[in-house]
């Protein structure tokens, strides 16, 4: 069952059979690292002929520890994202955590993202929707897929029909996430396009001061999601994941990301050709 198609960014359609990609580092660490990652991802997307939205967060407001790196802040972060747009031509997406973030972010970004822990915050969701930018809703780790239909409805009732959901796993006891592959079909029944968050779903949340993860499962879970009908993949990519200041245990290096995307694209084509 396919979903409705929406334009997440100019030239990037989510739903309707295409395989859209949202990728970039977890947090903006510096202009240099962010631009380096954007250049590498642009080259990968061009080689594979995949539509790409570049993502990076100016603030990681839901860190479990006081000492965890959060990012460079709104003003500095948007300047870095503006540089990405100007240098690479890629459309960009970033998280917003407060209603006041939405208008400034919309001046730079093609799409705004609601973090998973904030997906039920009505004022934030509506403020993002009213900017007119596409809204990507990260599905909360505590949310059933059918519950996200009501969150999508908030965006639509605010006058914005460019809305997608990103599946990032659900809490399975303490310090673990699982991905219910039925989620894609359930959301598609409501006409909602769905991305699969490859790297965040590998996390072992709250297991230490720094969130742990199981990067070795990136490829099998990505393939499973594409086979199950995901409309695109969302993944965090860093030039040197072990040195990343955020999500160092789950981010992928560019070479591995390229191989994963090549495999996912081949699988998507096979699924579309399957008469079943």
What sign does the CA torsion over 23, 28, 29, 33 have? positive
Q: What is the pLDDT of residue 70?
A: 83
Strand intervals (E) in 63-169 = 92-95, 111-114, 134-138, 163-167
For the segment 123-144, the average pLDDT, to the nearest whole number, is: 97
Does position 1 have pLDDT exceeding 60, yes or no?
A: no
Dist CA 236 CA 251 (whole Å) = 5
Which band of pLDDT confidence, cut at 50, 70 and 90, is reported for residue 87?
very high
* Distance, CA of 21 to CA of 44 (rounded, Å): 11
Q: What is the pLDDT of residue 16?
A: 86
Q: Is the per-residue pLDDT at 275 higher than 90?
A: no
119: pLDDT strictly greater than 90: yes
Res. 162: pLDDT tops 70: yes
pLDDT at residue 207, as a whole number: 58
Task: Find out whether 259 and 46 touch, Cβ atoms under 8 Å.
Answer: no
What's the CA gap between 125 and 99, in Å, rounded? 8
Torsional sign, CA 105, 35, 49, 216:
negative
CATH of domain 6-273: 3.20.20.70
pLDDT tens by residue, 3-30: 789 999 999 999 988 899 999 999 999 9
Q: Is 60 exceeded by the pLDDT of residue 276?
A: no
pTM exceeding 0.85: yes
pLDDT at 18: 86
Which letter, b or e, does each residue of 194-230 get, where b requires 16 or more Cβ atoms within 10 Å of its Cβ?
Answer: bbbbbbbbbbbbeeeebbbbebeebbebbbebbbbbb
The residue ranges of every structural domain in the chain are: 6-273
**Which residues is 166 bridged to in the sheet?**
138, 195
Q: Nearest 5°: CA angle at 219, between 29 and 187?
A: 90
Per residue in 163-184, pLDDT tens?
999 999 999 889 889 999 999 9
Residue 61's pLDDT band (boundaries 50, 70, 90)?
Answer: confident
């Amino acid at each position: 069952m396919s979903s409705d198609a929406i334009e997440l960014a100019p030239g990037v359609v989510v739903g309707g059979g295409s395989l859209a990609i949202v990728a970039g580092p977890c947090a903006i660490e510096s202009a240099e690292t962010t631009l380096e990652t954007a250049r590498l991802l642009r080259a990968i997307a061009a080689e594979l002929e995949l539509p790409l939205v570049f993502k990076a967060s100016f603030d990681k407001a839901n860190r479990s520890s006081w000492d965890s790196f959060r990012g460079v802040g709104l003003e500095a972060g948007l300047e870095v994202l503006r540089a990405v747009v100007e240098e690479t031509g890629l459309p960009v997406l970033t998280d917003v955590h407060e209603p006041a973030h939405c208008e400034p972010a919309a001046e730079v970004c093609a799409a705004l993202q609601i973090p998973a822990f904030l997906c039920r915050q009505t004022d934030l969701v509506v403020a993002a929707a009213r900017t007119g930018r596409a809204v990507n809703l990260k599905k909360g780790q505590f949310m059933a897929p059918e519950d996200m239909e009501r969150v999508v409805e908030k965006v639509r009732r605010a006058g914005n029909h460019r809305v997608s959901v990103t599946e990032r796993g659900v809490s399975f006891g303490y310090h673990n996430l699982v991905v219910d592959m039925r989620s894609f079909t359930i959301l598609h029944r409501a006409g909602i396009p769905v991305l699969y968050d490859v790297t965040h779903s590998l996390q072992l949340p709250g297991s230490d001061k720094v969130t742990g993860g199981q990067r070795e499962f990136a490829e099998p879970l990505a393939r499973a999601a594409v086979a199950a009908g995901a409309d695109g993949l969302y993944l965090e990519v860093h030039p040197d994941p072990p040195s990343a200041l955020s999500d160092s245990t789950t981010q992928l290096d560019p070479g591995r990301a390229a191989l994963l995307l090549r495999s996912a694209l081949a699988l998507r084509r096979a699924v579309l050709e399957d008469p079943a």
